[in-house]
């Protein structure tokens, strides 16, 4: 017997209202909207949160302190060297980092069978860090995540440790990562209806 979540339709309704509000306020990454629409059109799934992946320049008191961290620059796309250099100029205190984060989606499934089906699809398309994040009678949530990630220290307390040539190289690497995970998102968008549609 497969585990069923209670009040699935009520949860879906609440999540869709939240997504509609986020869309109206421009808080959803534009390039991931078609994928969200496809998942949310399916009978046994709905999305609860998403990010299409990003490059960022971040200042933080110490690594891992997300609460007190400040984004000096954040892009959900490939970036130009000049954009990164402008963000770096804003650095004054704490640690300075160049980061790449892969896409992440949280999708609620109606049954455990549905969750496993989505998980297997995601892993098969290259989202190797995907997992079932929550399993209970209240909710089943699949976390879809890829492997792309960079954490590069650039300086501290206003002092830059690297030169522009080095920054140019890590920007190239970061953009390559972005191209890779954006292609995976596109493949997921192309396959999700065919593999998961219950109708």
- Answer yes or no: is pLDDT of 3 > 70: no
Number of domains in the chain: 1
Report if residue 88 sits inside a domain.
yes
Identify the band that residue 5 occupies on the pLDDT scale cut at 50, 70 and 90: low
Report if residue 2 sits inside a domain.
no
Give the pLDDT score at 152. 96
- Answer yes or no: is pLDDT of 199 > 70: no
Identify the band that residue 1 occupies on the pLDDT scale cut at 50, 70 and 90: very low
Percent of the chain surpassing pLDDT 70? 95
Q: What's the mean pLDDT in 178-191?
A: 95
Give the pLDDT score at 2. 56
Give the pLDDT score at 99. 97
Report if residue 1 sits inside a domain.
no
Q: CA distances (Å), 85 to each of 91, 129, 179, in order?
A: 10, 31, 21
Report if residue 51 sits inside a domain.
yes
Give the pLDDT score at 4. 66
Give the pLDDT score at 92. 93
Identify the band that residue 195 occupies on the pLDDT scale cut at 50, 70 and 90: confident
Residues with Cβ within 8 Å of 134's Cβ and at least 6 positions away in sequence, in order, are 140, 141
Residues with Cβ within 8 Å of 69's Cβ and at least 6 positions away in sequence, in order, are 58, 59, 60, 61
Give the pLDDT score at 193. 82
User: Containing domain of residue 81, as a range?
Assistant: 8-194
pLDDT digits 0-9 by tens, 138-183: 789 999 999 999 999 999 999 999 999 999 999 999 999 999 999 9
Give the pLDDT score at 38. 95
pLDDT digits 0-9 by tens, 81-94: 999 999 999 999 99
Report if residue 3 sits inside a domain.
no
CATH number, domain of 174, equals 3.30.1960.10
| Cβ-based neighbour number of residue 137 at 10 Å | 10
- Answer yes or no: is pLDDT of 197 > 80: no
Give the pLDDT score at 134. 83
Report if residue 199 sits inside a domain.
no
Query: Are 159 and 140 within 8 A, CB to CB?
Result: no
Query: Could you give phi then psi for residue 102, rounded to 5 degrees?
Result: -75, 165
Which of 3-12, 106-115, 124-133 has the lowest average pLDDT?
3-12
- Answer yes or no: is pLDDT of 59 > 60: yes
């Amino acid at each position: 017997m497969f585990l069923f979540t209670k009040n699935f339709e009520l949860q879906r309704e609440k999540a869709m209202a939240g997504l509609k509000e986020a869309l109206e306020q421009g808080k959803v990454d534009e390039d991931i909207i078609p994928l969200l629409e496809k998942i949310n059109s399916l009978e046994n799934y709905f999305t609860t949160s998403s990010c299409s992946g990003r490059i960022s320049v971040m200042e933080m008191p110490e690594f891992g302190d997300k609460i007190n961290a400040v984004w000096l620059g954040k892009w959900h796309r490939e970036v130009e060297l000049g954009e990164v250099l402008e963000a770096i100029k804003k650095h004054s205190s704490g640690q300075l980092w160049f980061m790449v984060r892969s896409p992440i989606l949280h999708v609620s499934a109606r049954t455990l069978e549905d969750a496993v089906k989505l998980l297997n699809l995601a892993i098969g398309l290259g989202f190797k860090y995907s997992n079932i994040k929550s399993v209970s009678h209240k909710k089943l949530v699949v976390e879809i995540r890829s492997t792309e990630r960079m954490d590069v220290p650039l300086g501290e307390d206003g002092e830059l440790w690297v030169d522009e040539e080095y920054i140019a190289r890590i920007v190239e690497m970061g953009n390559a990562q972005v191209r890779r995970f954006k292609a995976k998102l596109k493949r997921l968008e192309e396959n999700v209806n065919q593999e998961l549609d219950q109708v």
